[in-house]
Structure 1
Amino acid sequence: MKKILPLILLFTVVLSTGCSSYSLVEDPAVQGSNDAAGEKVELQFWHTYSDVETKVFETRVLPMFEREHPNIVVHAVRQNYTSQLNDNIVAAIADDKQPDIMRMDIIWVPQFARSGALTDLTEMSDFSEYENRFTGSLIQTNRYAGHYFGIPLDATTMVPIYNKTLLREVGLTEPPSTFEELIAASRKLKAKDAGLFGISVCCSSTWGMLPYFRTLGGELLSPSLDKASGYLDSPASVEAMKRLKSWFDEGLISPTVVGGEPGGWDGLFNRKILMIDEAHWFFTSNENTENGPKLNDTVTGLFPSDAREGTSIIGGENLVLFRGSRHPYEAWTFMKFLVSEPVQEMMAETGLIPSIKDFDRAKLQPVYRIYLDQLRRAEPRPPIPQWDEVDDVFSRMVTRILVGEKPVADAMRESASQIDGILSSR
């Protein structure tokens, strides 16, 4: 999604010419239902569930809700998660045709919150009962300007996945718990065969590199999320990136991070890479393919620790309530229902990772349980409306550093200045 500037301009037009579409309900916390007892209330819910997820949602979750709330009818509309979806949401808002509720990618929540399109859920009288129900830092992905504009529905993060055979070859019986152990194991592999790599990082973007950068002591933005200078280019951050650069130059990190070969999945399955880090869809994507049997030669662990406890990036979807909803009370009722344990358990059967912290991990397939553990240590990408632009700058910086185009400190100082400009321009 690289169209933030035109989207923001469109939002500016919408807000300046049609603000009433966002304030049909001035205080949904106290309004309650607008409808007379016994009358049907109809809600529209947009989602991006897969085929399997949609089937469970439509045949089990929705009927259960409508049995419990016979006066509320939910019309679920499946949207294709493509590069156009963000634009489609903007257009729907501009035409006052937005849904009541949406299952939205977490990185979009700050963008739509700033535009005025979303309801501040802290206005809900019982929001405080839900604020602390979610695992780790998940709720923070909904925070903008000190308020919450959504609640976590399902989550994902990445965990290290190791090739068991290569672990045995370097004398390990379980995954490394620290980077010191992981780098030592990687050097043993490299000494055996120059074509072997210890670590594969998917890409130079924050999704791939930020867990390593943060764990090694780096910082991207200030705690107030308003600048990068003094943080991205701090001595600790420069040192973290220098270590990553040295491991790349040594051949311990595979060329995958800058688009080279071997690819992470192929390298892991073909015993060319000791460790990749991937989300839970790695298993769902491979279990019914020719690579299915090779999954038996893999083992997962928590992200290795170093200067900090090993962290990872939070991904997933949040539930948001659009400001233009005519039925915010009923919409909030449906949102709370979707984060109840029975519903989270149903959807977990499809491979989705639950968001609630007290979920019984024994109800998950064994291979997914490690993701709940890692989520407790995971951190969100900074919840800022300009995230895509910041991510682009970070990704270009990492690539330039790794391929030797720019010295580490210079590249980081230059990138910090660019990010400052992005954050201060709006």
Structure 2
Amino acid sequence: MRIKQNGCDRRKRRRHRAVWLPLLLLVLALCEACSSYSLVENPAAQGSDAPEGPKVDLQFWHTYSDVESKVFETRILPIFEREHPNIVVHAVRQNYTSQLNDNIVAAIADDKQPDVMRMDIIWVPQFARSGALTDLTEMNDFADYENRFTGSLIQTNRYNDHYYGIPLDATTMVPIYNQSLLREAGLSAPPSTFDELIAASRRLKAKDAGLYGISVCCSSTWGMLPYFRTLGGELLSPSLNKASGYLDSPASVEAMKKLKGWFDEGLMSPTVVGGEPGGWDGLFNRKILMIDEAHWFFTSNENTNNGPLLNDMVTGLFPSDVREGTSVIGGENLVLFRGSRHPEEAWAFMKFMVSEPVQEMMAETGLIPSIKDFDRAKLQPVYRIYVEQLQHAEPRPPVPQWDEVDDVFSRMVTRIFVGEKPAAEAMRESALQIDSILASR
């Protein structure tokens, strides 16, 4: 009987289990579903001072290279979005071509401009004049950032005494010498004055008529302004509204005559008017003593057949003459478009991009930091001279019609160098042309 009773009990328990076990599983499933649902929009925000707010989407246009884009997208952007969980940055890479300026104009016309853009410094005055950019002096804390940048970099964002951007990365040119030729000319270090450089060039020229002391990339302001300004020349008035009385002043004419004399003497290579040998080839082949070039000279050549020859190159600061040696500023600025629906969030992103940790990470790609307190020891040794030269660099005049002004200047230099017109006459005519261009503001 006991066995039968036990068997009967087991059957009863099985019948009971068959009833309550599905009910228990159903209750557990419902509880689990309830536990994944919350009236709080973001459960992770519970206990914090404030719940996460609505997302803000920012459009950021840039012209970073492949290497620069990878660092920005995989290392920098995630940090920003962790620090600003309510802001999502959509980075759109643009190809830096002659068409890009037109594309920006078209986007503005269609109200499809980005919130923020990494823009070539020479374009800032153009878009500031059109009303497309936000005057950053309207930002409450802009004064805290105005003096954070190296040398005259902030001035590349100036238009009508207001600032329409902040410097993101910078470049300039420094003299690069063939060290073997430097020693052959009797110098143990780069010359500090043009008198030294020209004397060394003449000594080399006496030994080899096919050798040049200086190679200037071109007749444009990017190539010629460092020499023209250092020798005492002026392009525009301080108010940037005219060239007459400045470009054609006695000091400017004298500076141009000196440059023309070096060219006629064969101390300056034909590269300035499109001739040969090219600057890089001439330097590597020991036919040119000095070129002035940006930092990409080293990044472009380090993994090529010319890589080993870089060991024979030495850099210095720009030689001085009438003035302390000065170079031209290049690079990119961050601008905030006036059409942005989220200007405060866009400004927060811009400030983040010029913080030292971000500048340091982008410097690993070969970009030169814009902030003046950046620790140069964190840069590759070959780039440190560029940061120092930026202390003695000046912007091309920030006028909206810069491309037209540059074209007039370039044609003027070519006409003078090839002997089409005397310096004084060509400079007087060009000054009047530039006056007319600037009057169209």
Q: Same fold (TM over 0.5)?
A: yes
CA distance in 2, matches of 1:213, 1:392: 16
**Whole-Å Cα distance in 2 between the matches of residues 207 and 58 of structure 1?**
31
CA deviation vs aligned residue, 1:51-72 (integer Å, no higher than 9, x gap): 0000000000000101111111
Deviations 1:359-387 (A, max 9, x none): 00000000000000000000000000000
Match of 1:135 among 150, 156, 169: 150
Q: Distance in 2 between matches of 1:80 and 1:260?
A: 29
Look up the match of 1:144: 159
Partner of 2:340: helix, strand, or coil? Answer: coil
Paired position in structure 2 for 1:12: none
Aligned to 2:132: 117
Correspondence for 2:43: none
Alignment of 1:277-292 (within 5 A): 277-292=292-307
User: What is the distance in 1 between the residues matched to 2:360 and 2:164?
Assistant: 24
Runs of 4 or more consecutive aligned structure 1 residues displaced over 6 Å after TM superposition: none
Matches within 5 A, 1:174-189: 174-189=189-204
Structure 1 partner of 2:380: 365
How large is the RMSD of aligned CA atoms in angstroms?
0.7
1:38 aligned onto 2:53:
yes
1:324 corresponds to which residue? 339
User: What secondary structure is seen at the aligned counterpart in 2 of 1:133?
Assistant: coil
Cα distance in 1 for partners of 2:255, 2:434 equals 19
Distance 1:425 1:137 in 2: 26
- 3-state SS in 1 of match to 2:393: coil
Deviations 1:119-138 (A, max 9, x none): 00000000000000000000
How far apart, CA to CA, are the structure 2 residues paired with 1:79 and 1:326? 21
Aligned mates of 1:316, 1:395 — CA distance in 2? 21
For 2:83 and 2:399, the matched residues in 1 are separated by 37
1:237-270 deviations in whole A, cap 9, x for unaligned? 0000000000000000000000000000000000
Residue of structure 1 in register with 2:31 after alignment: none
Q: TM-score, normalised by structure 1?
A: 0.91
Say whether residues 1:386 and 2:401 are aligned partners.
yes
Structure possessing the higher radius of gyration over alpha carbons: 2
Which residue is equivalent to 1:93?
A: 108
Q: Percent identity over the alignment?
A: 88
The answer to whether the 8 Å contact 2:52/2:85 transfers is: no
Letter in 2 for 1:44: Q
> What residue number does 1:223 align with?
238
Q: 1:254 aligns with which of 265, 269, 276?
A: 269
Shift of 1:425: 2.4
Identify the residue that residue 194 of structure 1 maps to in structure 2.
209
Q: Give the match for residue 401 of structure 1.
A: 416
User: 2:34 aligned with 1:52, yes or no?
Assistant: no
- RCO higher in structure (CA 8 A, sep ≥6): 1
Q: Which runs of 5+ in 1 are unaligned?
A: 1-35
Structure 2 matches for 1:6-17, cutoff 5 A? none
Q: Tell me by how many angstroms 1:38 deviates.
A: 1.3
* Alignment-derived partner of residue 265 in structure 1: 280
1:274 deviation in Å?
Answer: 0.2
Q: What's the CA shift for 1:37? A: 5.5
1:22 is matched with none
Aligned residue pairs total 391
Residue 306 of structure 1 corresponds to 321
Amino acid at match of 2:251: A
